[in-house]
Amino acid sequence: MKGIVCQEVNRLQYVEMREPELKPGEAIVRIRRIGICGTDLHAYRGNQPFFSYPRVLGHELAGIVEAIGDNPEGLRPGDPVGIIPYFHCGACVACRSGKTNCCVRMQVFGVHVDGGMRELVAVPTRNLLRADGLTLDQAAMLEPFAIGAHAVRRSGLGEGDTALVIGAGPIGLGAMAFAKLSGAKVIAMDVQDDRLTFCRSWAGVDATVLVSDGPLERLAELTGGDMPGVVLDATGNARSMTDSFGYVAHGGTLVYVGLVKADIAFHNPEFHKRELTLMGSRNATREDFERVIEGVRCGAVDVARYITHRAPFEAAVETFDSWLRPESGVIKAVLELE
């Protein structure tokens, strides 16, 4: 079968691979859609933590069950599925407390182990999501939306709260959508005005802040001087993540949704004075995926406009670099296999 390997920084290569064998507790899935994530782009550029080369990328996946044995999910060959790409051990301290998203021995598909940028994959049946009634595009986008949904759930955001989401990329947009679904007032912040325009039309945010216009003054104006009670930083940018401490209300919560390969420092007296809560938000749980499926099925999350660029699997290597250029206007790119 055909596959694509990131052999080293800035080098993807087509390769022939052995087809996976069906094992107990697993299913063989024929991949039909592959979303391109910031993680894939960072790995390609050499900026992804916890990553080694060579590696098959790809963890935003949808496909059709090719082969499967008896399974408690009741899945059969021919069923459309999405994939939860976080392979947890089920036995560590995090898993025992239901926090499978931060398993001590976590193996993320396409990061720690070879992922789905190939025609067929073997996946534990417990990591499959029944995608009846969803398009393949929708099933492939469950994972990036689940990351935003998890961050919002973890923050405790609720009806009447004010949230600032920094970063209008794919993950930030998902966080905005699910912050709105929680009943919160949502402010979007980004460095690009065209991205903020998309936030208003796609996520229905209540207000926007352009970084170059002076965020502190604008946020104070929008919140009556209070500042946002919840700030979710989805940039993966060290400068933004450092600055975000200054945007949180007294007694508020800062959630790092993005990941950066760097140290982050903050001024302890200001942190202490405000009694801030700082959280990391990693991956998502099945509960978050189910929340996303509900949001997609009811039409609250518009996948069609979220996907802005496409290419056939056979053109991936030639196209990948172009999707990294800011002028391309990529929000979410998808590879298609037929």
Whether 133 and 180 map to the same domain: the answer is no
Q: Parallel, antiparallel, or unpaired for β 277-280 and 207-210?
A: unpaired
pLDDT tens digits for range 236-290: 999 999 999 999 999 999 999 998 888 999 999 999 999 999 999 999 999 999 9
Residue 6 belongs to a domain: yes
CA atoms within 13 Å, Cβ hemisphere of 300: 18
Query: Do both 87 and 102 map to the same domain?
Result: yes
Angstrom distances, CA of residue 206 to CA of 41, 146, 170, 185, 290:
30, 22, 18, 6, 26
Residues 6 and 137 in one domain: yes
For 128, the domain range is 2-141+307-336
pLDDT of amino acid 325: 85
Q: Kindly report the CATH number assigned to the domain that includes residue 331.
A: 3.90.180.10
> Which tokens in the block code for residue 267?
């001024």
Question: Same domain, yes or no, for 249 and 317?
Answer: no
**Two tokens at 31?**
């991949």
Indicate the angle between helix axes 170-181 and 142-155, nearest 10 degrees. 50
pLDDT tens-digit series, residues 75-84: 999 999 999 9
Tally the domains of the chain.
2
Q: Are residues 100 and 190 in the same domain?
A: no
- Cβ-count burial 194-212 (b if 16+ within 10 Å, e if not): ebbebbeebbebebbbbbe
Please check whether residues 159 and 125 belong to one and the same domain. Answer: no
290 occurs within a structural domain: no
Asked if residue 265 and residue 223 are part of one domain, the reply reads: yes
How much is the pLDDT for 147? 98
Q: Are residues 172 and 266 in the same domain?
A: yes
The model's pLDDT over 172-218, given as tens digits with 9 standing for 90+, comes to 999 999 999 999 999 999 999 999 999 999 999 999 999 999 999 99
11 & 111 share domain:
yes
- Burial code (b: 16+ CB inside 10 Å, e: under 16) for 118-147 equals bbbbebebbbbbbbeebebbbbbbbbbbbb
Rounded percentage of the chain residues whose pLDDT exceeds 90:
90
User: pLDDT tens digits, residue range 32-53?
Assistant: 999 999 889 888 888 877 788 9
CB atoms within 10 A of CB 165: 36
Residues 243 and 219 in one domain: yes
Same domain, 119 and 165: no
pLDDT at 39: 83
- pTM: predicted TM-score of the whole model, two decimal places: 0.95
Q: Are the beta carbons of 112 and 6 closer than 8 angstroms?
A: no
Joined together, the tokens standing for residue 302 give 């518009």
Same-domain check for residues 26 and 71: yes
Residue 238 lies in a domain: yes
pLDDT of residue 74: 92
The number of residues making up the chain comes to 338
CATH number for position 205: 3.40.50.720
The pLDDT score that the predictor gives to residue 98 is 96
Residue pair 209/176 in contact (Cβ under 8 Å)? The answer is no
Residue 295 placed within a domain: no
